[in-house]
Amino acid sequence: MTASTPGPASGAGSARNDPASRLVVTGGDVFDGTGAPPRRADVAVQEGRIVAVGSGLDGDVAVDATGMTVLPGLIDCHVHVMISGVELMAHLERPFSYAFYAAIGNLAATLDRGVTTVRDAGGADLGVKKAVEDGLVEGPRLRTAVSILGQTGGHTDGWHPSGIDVPLFVPHPGRPDPVVDGPDEMRRRVRQLIRAGADVIKICTSGGVVSPRDDPRHPQFGPDELAVCTAEAAAAGIFVMAHAQGAAGIKNAVRAGVRSVEHGMYLDDEAIEMMLEAGTFLVPTLVAPHWVIEAADAGAAISEVVVAKAREVAQIHQESVSRAVAAGVPIAMGTDSGVGPHGQNLRELELMRRAGMQPAAVLAAATSAAARLIGVADELGTVEPGNRADLVLVGGDPYDFAALEANIRAVYKGLL
């Protein structure tokens, strides 16, 4: 069990650590993750998994959740645990290994906010994932992309006008070089990522906001390169996620068969229809441009070009996501944490509500829908028998997203 905050499970005694014991979270309302309204129910847990949900359940140990709502552990489908802000000079002055130590705090801050699973969208390698799995550091369950693939001059190219190359993630034996050109290089690099332990392939089909030398509206990678990427991923049984901000890049990604479009800032009607037809998820990351603007306003040394792009896209982003929501595009929660401070993940929920999502749908996007997107719906994302006992206990109104962080009473990752 991991409890990130002192909560009602405190003092449950040694039985909670006995795998044979049965623990019951009792007296609370359960939001099961499907979008159905919360209902009064007990949740019985044994050996780290939910064994029953219903009324009048008994067990060896009781956790009193009276007056609280029990949520599934939240899932953030787009984080960067190895990034702690986008200020270039800070990035340059930190030793290579510093990011691994900073990730320890980033992981803990994320778990503390009720996010028990994340998809790291670039940066974290297999060692980071294994460190969490083996209990060396505390953090959410990790699905990892390892490296972010982009073309020369694209979103992952660290070249600057001075001629100096400053990659966001320095390649190392467990993190392949992110820049690829042509189908043959693409095939080799995807295979290298699979060998390195990637759970998902991350590709950039458009420019971006935080990359100063490209335009988020311009497409990147050709159809031949994208086809090779999705084919190699499919052969290994994994999905492809696409950083795609401009409409042309979004459409190219959907045509190639990606699982999710990340950001989607310049969605048009055709792109939305294509996503609906293909069942492609949108991971909005609405909070990300706000973080860039806030950091710049606070005095961070961020490129003027980057800040200007963030200011330009913030409102457009919200409007694009609103149209996608109205059309019924499947939505999964993601934040781009790392661009902004880790531990502020729940800010995204209120922005999703403002984009037109009903509150229950917002929570479903952060639980069951997110679990479906990343391929873990058979174990996570809902409060039901057989699933892992990742649970968040919150006081107050669970749909009051502005107050949700303050209302968290306990976070459990694999409650025993």
pLDDT higher for 169 or 109?
Answer: 109
d(Cα 402, Cα 371) in Å, to the nearest integer? Answer: 23
pLDDT at 12 over 50: no
Which pLDDT score, from 0 to 100, does residue 18 have? Answer: 67
Q: What is the pLDDT of residue 212?
A: 78
Domain ranges of the chain: 14-72+381-412, 74-374
- 172, pLDDT greater than 60: yes
Query: Exposure of 110 by Cβ count < 10 A (0-12 exposed, 13-18 middle, 19+ buried)?
Result: buried
Interval 48-76 mean pLDDT: 97
Q: Which of 156-160, 182-186, 311-315 has the highest mean pLDDT?
A: 182-186
Residues 6+ apart with CB under 8 A from 84: 90, 99, 102, 106, 338, 342
- The CATH superfamily assigned to 14-72+381-412 is Urease, subunit C, domain 1 (2.30.40.10)
Percentages (nearest 5) of helix, strand, coil residues in the chain: 35, 20, 45
Percent of the chain with pLDDT over 70: 95
In the predicted model, is pLDDT for residue 2 greater than 60? no
Phi, psi angles (nearest 5°) of residue 26? -125, 150
Cα(409)–Cα(70) distance, integer angstroms: 10
In the three-class reduction of DSSP (H, G, I as helix; E, B as strand; rest coil), residue 104 is classed as helix
Query: Are 200 and 194 in contact, with CB atoms under 8 Å apart?
Result: no
- 3-state secondary structure string, 44-95? EEECCEEEEEECCCCCCEEEECCCEEEEECEEEEEECCCCCCCCHHHHHHCC
86 to each of 289, 310, 335, 347, how far by Cα in Å? 11, 12, 15, 19
pLDDT mean over 94-100: 95
Q: Using CA atoms, how far apart are residues 213 and 160, in angstroms rounded to an integer?
A: 8
- What integer pLDDT is reported at residue 19 of this predicted model? 61
Domains 14-72+381-412 and 74-374 share a fold: no
Cα–Cα dist 66/304, whole Å: 51
pLDDT for res 228: 98
DSSP code per residue over 169-198 = S--BTTB---B--SHHHHHHHHHHHHHTT-
Residue 31, pLDDT above cutoff 60: yes
Helices (H) and strands (E) in the chain, counts: 13, 17
Q: Which of 77, 35, 70 lies closest to 412 in space, CA to CA?
A: 70
pLDDT digits (tens, 9 = 90+) for 174-195: 999 999 999 999 999 999 999 9
Judging by beta carbons within 10 Å of its beta carbon (0-12, 13-18, 19+), is residue 322 exposed, middle or buried? middle
Angle at the Cα of 178 from the Cα atoms of 177 and 181, rounded to 5 degrees: 105
pLDDT at 310 over 70: yes
| HSE (side-chain half, CA atoms, 13 Å) at 10 | 7
**Hey, what are 103's tokens?**
């990730």
SS3 state of residue 30: strand
Residue with tokens 């320095």: 170
The answer to whether the beta carbons of residues 31 and 46 sit under 8 Å apart is: no
pLDDT bin (cut points 50, 70, 90) of residue 13 is very low
**Percent of the chain surpassing pLDDT 90:** 86
**Mean pLDDT, rounded, of the chain:** 93
What's the sign of the alpha-carbon dihedral 16, 345, 88, 185? positive
Contact 253, 149 (CB under 8 A): no
- Categorize the per-residue pLDDT at 1 as very low, low, confident or very high, splitting at 50, 70 and 90: very low
Distance CA 167, CA 338 (A): 15
Q: What is the pLDDT of residue 211?
A: 84
pLDDT value of residue 167: 84
Name which of 130, 119, 83 is nearest 340 in CA terms: 83
Tell if the pTM clears 0.75, that is, is over it.
yes
Ramachandran angles phi, psi of 404, nearest 5°:
-60, -45
Domain 74-374 class, CATH top level: alpha beta
Annotated active-site positions, please? 202, 336
Element (H, E) at 327: helix 304-327
State which amino acid sits at residue 48: G
Confidence at 86, pLDDT banded by 50, 70, 90: confident
pLDDT in tens, 322-373: 999 999 999 999 999 999 999 999 999 999 999 999 999 999 999 999 999 9
Name the β-bridge partners of 165.
159
Please tell me whether residue 366 adopts helix, strand or coil conformation.
coil
| AA letter at 341 | P
Mean pLDDT of 195-202: 98
